[in-house]
Structure 1
Amino acid sequence: MDHVNSWITSTRGSLQLVFDVLSGERSVRLHNPRMPFTCTALNVLFVGPSDTADLVDVGRQVVDDWNARRARSAGVVMLSRHYSTDTASLFIDGSDGQAVINEQIVDDADIVISIFRSKFGSPTPRAGSGTEEEIERTVAAGKRVHVYFSEEPRPADVDTRQLDKLRTFKTSISDKGLWQPFQDTHNLSNLIRRALDEDYDHFQGRLKLPVPATATTSGPADADQVNLQVRVEGSARYFVDGDALLRKHLDEETSRLWNLHSTQHANSGFAGISLTDSNAAYINSDPLLPKSIGEMDDLLSRWKQTTQAGWEDSLKAIASYSWVGLRFTLFNDAQSFVPDLQVDMTFHGALGVPFRRPSDFKHEKHKMLPPVVSSRHLLNGPILIRRSSTETSPVEWRNRGDDLQVTIHPPMIRPQTLWESPGDDVVLMAKDHTMESVRVTWRSTAPKGPVDLSGEFALPLEAVSAQAALASLLALYEQ
């Protein structure tokens, strides 16, 4: 970790990093014409065999996006590193190529993102491959290490020997931590983004993070009594393949149930049973199926209708476990105390879904795919959820029509002090997929002070794969 002075600028919407070496210490400049701020730099090292170069580029773009989205408010800049861009040629007697890489970029990594596709890599004097050595070395040093394995279709000319070594390595680390699969680059991006947010949470307690100098939007103040700045970290998302996942589930489950029916009734003496609507809803528990073809057709027809009617709730359930939640920050850039502040926010054209950690996912308790999914534990009309772990950080939210409404009311906002919500509060799901962004309006009031401020800003819209999100959850459950 490096403490650096940083300032931000946007060049065609992208983050530009300029490195200087001054007196042997690294300085990172994130150019912005607004004003400088002090932050802490975390080294994010990407490692993987030679067939992952494009995937590494995807991951490095996620790091750039994280910096653009959170660097100023978080007081942290993440520096992506890879041997192809951040090492220098060097020959030392008694050393080797991997040892040079270790010294130059591996040993000072704070976060390690390990990506595998079809290759395992070439051996080193100390491990089966350079990537394996980098993982073992950083894990032993107590670094934050994330490992991802591709489930993309294999090329026709795949090296089976490399693939066998990769599978052996995958098995060998399964009881040492949690790896995750990915189906495409979009799925990988979401996994890395979630990992970086978790890493920031981990380091936040260890770092003295600076107070941000600006936030997303602020309201005017009279005589500098209050200058409130409001920020939301996160984005609105929608599933691009929700209908495709529905069709896939209907086809696969129908085929599975007919195969189960054939198995159960292979013996002509088997009597079978008739299922009621109630126990038909638990068809995934493999009950005894009716023997009659007509009853089976009727059962499947009713199941398909139930599945289609509740599909929106099923997608909300997938989103609640697989998406990153919103986080809220308030900052009073004035020398005033504001007691009993209340900030009301409206996210236009987007709905809230309860945030649940993927590690809490229990497939038998919260099944994602109907017919066993229950809408009772999901959003079903306007509801109010309070997620405040302490009295000083309450956040409440509810859905009204097609909009999410959030109320934040900390008892005291202090001068020049950042207030942050305690964690992910709510996942934002866009209703209109044609929007470029979600408009957010806010208003703040306080009964004991002249605070009546308002403003608005926009949150970005992201397209997400429902099939990839569900596959990741199920893989996490199986581990």
Structure 2
Amino acid sequence: MPENVKLIKIFLASPGDVKTERNYVKAVVKAINSTVAPNQNIRLEVICSENAYPGFGKDGQRIINEQIGKMDEYDLFILIMKNRFGSPTKRCASGTSEEFQRAKKAHQETGKPNIWFYSGSMKKDVKKKEEKEQQAKVKGFISRFINNRYGLFKTYTTTSDFKEQLHNQLIQWLLNYYGKQKLDGAVPLQKLRLLHPRRKNL
């Protein structure tokens, strides 16, 4: 009988000013996949806008949305914001905000994905008008998140602090919800190899 592995899909959303944090998300997932995950018969996969391929005839965010697919197909939605909110789309105040709205709607309708929001410490005494406007939009988003009681969010002061928080919280979440005793819908390891033929270490 083939070993069963549950694939945990994570969507990563953020504006463009948190590249270090985004890389840390991928690094943490890679580390967990080589340590904790195998013992629990799970495997994590991070999907983000960088995975999108070129398209034509529609605005960029709509093309990304179509390639992302339905948000309820993801188990976890990680949102990171610090100093920038992003550029507006035809449907929302920014691409990141649009991805959040899609995830929120899916969660309200289906219970998936679980949504984690991390807010980093902002730069102080910014002088450029555009930077001030971006920070104001982030603050407005945080205020709406709190006032609408969307849930609990985490703050961090440094990128290392973010990495440590994410690592510990992700392991705790995985063990609580995706331990060996909760493997409904697990994907046979042989099939997972077929889905990702280049990943010989599965």
Report the Cα distance in structure 1 between the residues aligned to 2:177 and 2:44, rounded to whole angstroms. 14
The yes-or-no answer on 1:202 pairing with 2:177 is yes
**TM superposition shift of 1:187:** 1.4
Match in the other structure for 1:170:
142
**TM superposition shift of 1:197:** 2.7
Query: Which of the residues 20, 24, 28 maps onto 1:58?
Result: 24
Which structure has the larger Rg?
1
The yes-or-no answer on 1:98 pairing with 2:61 is yes
CA contact (8 A) 2:8 2:43 kept: yes
**TM superposition shift of 1:100:** 1.6
The yes-or-no answer on 1:144 pairing with 2:144 is no
Report the Cα distance in structure 1 between the residues aligned to 2:45 and 2:125, rounded to whole angstroms. 32
Secondary structure of 1:98's counterpart equals helix
**TM superposition shift of 1:62:** 0.8
Report the Cα distance in structure 1 between the residues aligned to 2:150 and 2:18, rounded to whole angstroms. 23
How many residues align structurally? 174
CA contact (8 A) 1:152 1:184 kept: no
**TM superposition shift of 1:61:** 0.6
Secondary structure of 1:91's counterpart equals coil
**TM superposition shift of 1:176:** 1.5
The yes-or-no answer on 1:89 pairing with 2:66 is no
Secondary structure of 1:171's counterpart equals helix
Report the Cα distance in structure 2 between the residues aligned to 1:208 and 1:198, rounded to whole angstroms. 21
Judging changes above 3 Å, is the alpha-carbon distance between structure 1 residues 53 and 106 closer, same or farther for their aligned structure 2 residues? farther
Secondary structure of 1:141's counterpart equals helix
CA contact (8 A) 2:10 2:45 kept: yes
**TM superposition shift of 1:135:** 1.1
CA contact (8 A) 1:120 1:166 kept: yes
**TM superposition shift of 1:207:** 2.4
> Following superposition of structure 1 onto structure 2, how do residues 245-260 of structure 1 map, counting pairs within 5 Å?
none
Query: Which of the residues 1, 6, 9 maps onto 1:43?
Result: 9
Which ranges in structure 2 are unaligned for 5 or more consecutive residues? 108-112, 188-202
Report the Cα distance in structure 1 between the residues aligned to 2:102 and 2:63, rounded to whole angstroms. 14
Judging changes above 3 Å, is the alpha-carbon distance between structure 1 residues 129 and 106 closer, same or farther for their aligned structure 2 residues? farther
CA contact (8 A) 2:13 2:77 kept: yes
The yes-or-no answer on 1:185 pairing with 2:162 is no
Report the Cα distance in structure 2 between the residues aligned to 1:198 and 1:154, rounded to whole angstroms. 33
CA contact (8 A) 1:45 1:106 kept: no
Secondary structure of 2:6's counterpart equals strand
Report the Cα distance in structure 1 between the residues aligned to 2:125 and 2:39, rounded to whole angstroms. 43
Match in the other structure for 2:35:
69
**TM superposition shift of 1:156:** 4.5
Tell me which amino acid in the other structure corresponds to 1:161. Answer: E
Match in the other structure for 1:257:
none
CA contact (8 A) 2:83 2:123 kept: no
Report the Cα distance in structure 1 between the residues aligned to 2:127 and 2:18, rounded to whole angstroms. 16
CA contact (8 A) 2:80 2:119 kept: yes
Secondary structure of 2:56's counterpart equals coil
Greater relative contact order (Cα 8 A, min sep 6): structure 1 or 2?
A: 2
Report the Cα distance in structure 1 between the residues aligned to 2:33 and 2:7, rounded to whole angstroms. 10
Report the Cα distance in structure 1 between the residues aligned to 2:55 and 2:74, rounded to whole angstroms. 20
**TM superposition shift of 1:110:** 2.2
CA contact (8 A) 1:119 1:163 kept: yes
Match in the other structure for 1:135:
100
Tell me which amino acid in the other structure corresponds to 1:56. Answer: R
Report the Cα distance in structure 1 between the residues aligned to 2:125 and 2:165, rounded to whole angstroms. 23
Report the Cα distance in structure 2 between the residues aligned to 1:155 and 1:64, rounded to whole angstroms. 36
Higher helix share: 2
RMSD value, Cα: 2.5
Secondary structure of 1:197's counterpart equals helix
Report the Cα distance in structure 1 between the residues aligned to 2:86 and 2:103, rounded to whole angstroms. 18
Report the Cα distance in structure 2 between the residues aligned to 1:75 and 1:171, rounded to whole angstroms. 39
Identity of aligned residues (%): 23
**TM superposition shift of 1:112:** 1.1
**TM superposition shift of 1:96:** 2.2
Judging changes above 3 Å, is the alpha-carbon distance between structure 1 residues 122 and 152 closer, same or farther for their aligned structure 2 residues? closer
> Following superposition of structure 1 onto structure 2, how do residues 373-452 of structure 1 map, counting pairs within 5 Å?
none
Higher strand share: 1
Tell me which amino acid in the other structure corresponds to 2:106. Answer: A
